[in-house]
A and B are shown apart, each in its own frame.
Chain A
């Protein structure tokens, strides 16, 4: 079994080591030990059942963590639709977005910015003061101011 490349000088030590525990081992009632082990295994320590029982909490914990992560992700998507749907354009700097538009179309867009918005019932600047507005016009104006709308909500 063991080659003697540990050195002859270790032989004495090995002889003592081989005797170590020999008497105690001889006193062991092997048959009784075997029967006790079998009895303990019968009491619920069978290999497959034991390993499954040991693994169950670990698997359940792992599954719970996965569910929580997926749930948190879904919740985040619901509560942050714009960011999570993440259209590339929203994340890009405005200059990059404008660079994609053909020059002709861009001119059209820029000139359109100078035109007043044509909304039904809209009131043009300089036409009238707030006190001159009719009730529907005032209503339209208030609804057009987003910050006020947010306060109302």
Chain B
């Protein structure tokens, strides 16, 4: 049995990022443990098929760790991860679209989940999920970052490279359209 890895002292994201850049793999693993569920929740909300969720979360972290030098703390590390996840999801949508031509909501929506679980999931939740897949990407991501992740407009704007005012407008457009579709 291999010796257990020495435990990593509790640290902030910035310290873990610095440790990973210095070659400490335990720091990278800790960052995954810390943020993987939030990334998965965001991706699932944005329409990621559940069958691809694990791969998408991995891809998100791989891309983030590769490009970590470009992270300048303009927003929280988790928010940055979520935007990278959004890009990974978009790329998946493109790959699936090349394989067969289907509508976007059908493409990104899970058809592989347990039917019982899908039945149990609230009807409103299901309709919201469908509604989100019909929104433009910016509106969808702003809505999820705001409503699902509870982020401030300033944080959302920094992550999506826009202004807080524009993020607010995207959010309100998203809410207006979602309400129309949900009622």
Contact = CB atoms under 8 A, between A and B. Distances in A.
Contact of B128 (A10, A17, A25): A17
Interface stretch (A35-43, A66-74, A109-117): A35-43
A19 B125 contact: yes
B144 interface: yes
A56 to B, nearest CB: 14
B163 interface: no
Given A30-B33, A33-B36, A47 B66 contact: yes
Nearest to A49: B66
Given A1-B151, A25-B41, A37 B50 contact: no
B88 interface: no
Interface string B29-60: 11011001110111111000010011001100
Contact of A21 (B29, B33, B43): B43
Contact of A3 (B110, B132, B152): B152
A117 B10 CA distance: 98
A10 B58 contact: no
B37 A37 contact: no
A12 to B, nearest CB: 8
Interface string A96-109: 00000000000000
Contacts of A20: 41, 44-45, 125, 128-129, 132, 144, 148
Contacts of A40: 58, 62
B175 A6 contact: yes
Contact of A18 (B25, B66, B148, B179): B148
Contact of B32 (A17, A37, A45, A48): A37
Contacts of B122: 16, 19
B176 to A, nearest CB: 10
Interface residues of B, number: 54
Contact of A47 (B20, B32, B121, B128): B20
Interface string A17-31: 111111111111111
Interface in B42-85: 42-45, 50, 53-54, 57-58, 61-62, 65-69
Contacts of B147: 10, 13-14, 17-18
B28 interface: yes
28 contacts: A1-B152, A2-B150, A6-B175, A16-B122, A17-B45, A17-B148, A18-B147, A20-B45, A21-B45, A23-B121, A24-B44, A24-B50, A25-B38, A28-B36, A28-B53, A28-B57, A31-B33, A37-B58, A38-B25, A38-B28, A40-B58, A41-B25, A42-B25, A45-B62, A45-B65, A47-B65, A47-B68, A51-B67
Given A16-B125, A47-B69, 9 more contacts: A1-B151, A20-B44, A20-B125, A28-B53, A30-B36, A33-B61, A37-B65, A38-B28, A47-B65
Interface of B: 20-21, 23, 25, 28-30, 32-33, 36-38, 40-45, 50, 53-54, 57-58, 61-62, 65-69, 110, 113, 117, 121-122, 124-125, 128-129, 132, 143-144, 146-148, 150-152, 171-172, 175, 178-179, 182
